[in-house]
A and B are shown apart, each in its own frame.
Chain A
């Protein structure tokens, strides 16, 4: 196991000083990532998946829980202790162009990790090697980020992430803002590198189709909690949590004749400032029962498949015609 996360909580404080309100952005999350494995965190906006990634990298203070990377605790590490850890844990951020420093040239950007960690190397040589690894010619060294297309900028981001041969890459929405015909290039590149370099990956995304093709295991997040986790194939075949089932059914497929057994959700996503009691999904869940509004479903934190629901769905279950609670 290269990364373990246990009962992680991140709390933000919002509002004026005389009326600070705590917001639980990540509310007790546990999972493990094995060496060489791809793990996907799936959720819609506000599900806390990006905050979680920042916490793992030590960019975000946490309010509770434990994290260990390569057997070293993250949350208790000082900035000085964190630095060598970060050498082995590379991050890729959502915006392909925005995550590159606008006044630095590509050649300098990809070797930035060498400079930060004070590693002696022929930097020009390294830049050329890294760019060719991600399929960019050496000419790109002299370009600025704004002169790159989204796909090219993403490749530069990948080159920088693998610069120091990390053990783990955390990729936040690696296909965001890219055209369909380019998305595949980036995913294939990540897959290739993962196999060649034997690194583990955490992919954070809202795009389930992407997850299907790249992830070994996945976890679905809702309001800062993992509601279901398990093997990707298994979860696609038989989603057990109503939210997972909804997400899977909400993804339109490019086939006009495909039967659409869509599950539509009443109501909007609740505010993090007013978390519903009981099961937090019950305000939108088509299967919700009286019990769901009162009792919090038990969640098991382990490596095998787990579901935070009182009545996990049978494969292919359809929502009842009327909700039993309003």
Chain B
């Protein structure tokens, strides 16, 4: 397990490094002069030159990359243009709100998806299986921003059951939760379908396995076979899938935050694009990417811990 964990950790570090390289390459390839963009049209050439030196733009490419790389690993993502505050700090301020949204989305998808998948696998071929099947495909297909807008239209504008905008009063957990319902549903609804299908498919596969036949031949009760012998194996690919799902929920969160006017990293990036605040955009992209890689790492380690075949690997 230790060796597996170290290997997986090393891989995560390598992926983060390559991702940083890619991001740096993108920044470097921007047409135009970042200093000019940052200072606006009224800046003098001397001011631009000073900023260029300050930003290290006069150095050779590989030195620029090395500085970027080292600084990024140390958590220094540069300063944003408008208020000159550290990018990392600004992003971190917005992160909890986005994380709350994603945790909410995951809660929906796990709480509904796993039982639905299990249930339809056991009752496969029946009416319920078919209805849940169509439902799953439908929610997977419809993009989250359409779900968000239609949910807003139905539950906030027409029915007026739930609040339309904002994240709720600071400090008032209840109000914040009420404000979280619709956005997190928009983020998580598609994943209810994904997880239901994944759990159903892997349950069906596991239930066909010879060792399940052995368990039946020993007269073990059906409940024990379904939950103890089958689900423990069928859940493994779902855990991996959830890790991937976080990435997509990070994407959906951007839309949910804009539609419901919630604070968060997505809203931050969107506003930064409109104000051409490049360091903030790239910084936020890097933070969410690292977050995603980290979550995948955790998901793989959890799977490794749950699966003795992986756990005992040298």
A binds B: yes
Q: Hey, which bits of chain A sit against chain B, CB under 8 A?
A: 15-16, 19
Q: Give the CA-CA distance A19 to B314 in the complex, in Å.
A: 10
The answer to the question of B224 belonging to the interface, with a C-beta cut-off of 8 Å to chain A, is no
Of all chain B residues, which has the CB nearest A15?
Answer: B314
Q: Give the CA-CA distance A19 to B3 in the complex, in Å.
A: 12
The answer to the question of B124 belonging to the interface, with a C-beta cut-off of 8 Å to chain A, is no
The answer to the question of B7 belonging to the interface, with a C-beta cut-off of 8 Å to chain A, is yes
Of all chain B residues, which has the CB nearest A19?
Answer: B314
Q: Give the CA-CA distance A16 to B3 in the complex, in Å.
A: 10
Report B-chain residues with C-beta under 8 Å of the C-beta of A16. Answer: 3, 7, 314
The digit string for B82-100, where 1 denotes a CB below 8 A from any CB of A, is 0000000000000000000
Give chain A's interface secondary structure class.
loop
Of all chain A residues, which has the CB nearest B313?
Answer: A16
CB of B312 to closest CB in A, whole Å: 14
The digit string for B174-203, where 1 denotes a CB below 8 A from any CB of A, is 000000000000000000000000000000
CB of B298 to closest CB in A, whole Å: 22
CB of B1 to closest CB in A, whole Å: 14
Return 5 A-B CB contacts under 8 Å, by A number: A15-B314, A16-B3, A16-B7, A16-B314, A19-B314
Nearest 5 A-B pairs (CB), nearest first?
A16-B314, A15-B314, A16-B7, A16-B3, A19-B314
Of all chain A residues, which has the CB nearest B3?
Answer: A16
CB of B3 to closest CB in A, whole Å: 7
CB of B88 to closest CB in A, whole Å: 35
Interface residues of B in 94-138 (CB under 8 A from A): none
We find that the number of chain B residues with CB closer than 8 angstroms to chain A is 3
CB of B314 to closest CB in A, whole Å: 7
CB of B60 to closest CB in A, whole Å: 33
CB of B73 to closest CB in A, whole Å: 24
Report A-chain residues with C-beta under 8 Å of the C-beta of B314. Answer: 15-16, 19
Report B-chain residues with C-beta under 8 Å of the C-beta of A19. Answer: 314
CB of A169 to closest CB in B, whole Å: 36
Interface residues of B in 1-50 (CB under 8 A from A): 3, 7
Q: Give the CA-CA distance A17 to B314 in the complex, in Å.
A: 12
Q: Give the CA-CA distance A231 to B234 in the complex, in Å.
A: 54
Q: Give the CA-CA distance A15 to B3 in the complex, in Å.
A: 12
Report B-chain residues with C-beta under 8 Å of the C-beta of A15. Answer: 314
CB of A219 to closest CB in B, whole Å: 35
Q: Give the CA-CA distance A16 to B7 in the complex, in Å.
A: 10
CB of A270 to closest CB in B, whole Å: 19
Q: Give the CA-CA distance A16 to B2 in the complex, in Å.
A: 14
Q: Give the CA-CA distance A19 to B7 in the complex, in Å.
A: 13
CB of A274 to closest CB in B, whole Å: 15
CB of A17 to closest CB in B, whole Å: 10
The digit string for B48-74, where 1 denotes a CB below 8 A from any CB of A, is 000000000000000000000000000
Q: Give the CA-CA distance A19 to B6 in the complex, in Å.
A: 15
Q: Give the CA-CA distance A15 to B314 in the complex, in Å.
A: 8
Report A-chain residues with C-beta under 8 Å of the C-beta of B3. Answer: 16
CB of A163 to closest CB in B, whole Å: 39
CB of B8 to closest CB in A, whole Å: 12
CB of B304 to closest CB in A, whole Å: 15
CB of B4 to closest CB in A, whole Å: 10
CB of B199 to closest CB in A, whole Å: 30
Q: Give the CA-CA distance A189 to B3 in the complex, in Å.
A: 53
Report A-chain residues with C-beta under 8 Å of the C-beta of B7. Answer: 16
Q: Give the CA-CA distance A16 to B313 in the complex, in Å.
A: 10
CB of A38 to closest CB in B, whole Å: 38
CB of B123 to closest CB in A, whole Å: 31
Q: Give the CA-CA distance A188 to B7 in the complex, in Å.
A: 54
CB of A203 to closest CB in B, whole Å: 32
Q: Give the CA-CA distance A15 to B313 in the complex, in Å.
A: 10
CB of A13 to closest CB in B, whole Å: 14
Of all chain A residues, which has the CB nearest B4?
Answer: A16
CB of B305 to closest CB in A, whole Å: 19
CB of A16 to closest CB in B, whole Å: 7
CB of A22 to closest CB in B, whole Å: 16
CB of A80 to closest CB in B, whole Å: 38
Q: Give the CA-CA distance A16 to B4 in the complex, in Å.
A: 10
Q: Give the CA-CA distance A297 to B314 in the complex, in Å.
A: 35
Q: Give the CA-CA distance A41 to B287 in the complex, in Å.
A: 61
CB of B313 to closest CB in A, whole Å: 9
CB of A37 to closest CB in B, whole Å: 43
Interface residues of B in 268-308 (CB under 8 A from A): none
Q: Give the CA-CA distance A207 to B314 in the complex, in Å.
A: 36
CB of B163 to closest CB in A, whole Å: 54
CB of B5 to closest CB in A, whole Å: 13
CB of A229 to closest CB in B, whole Å: 37
CB of A209 to closest CB in B, whole Å: 29
CB of B161 to closest CB in A, whole Å: 56
CB of B233 to closest CB in A, whole Å: 26
Q: Give the CA-CA distance A16 to B314 in the complex, in Å.
A: 8
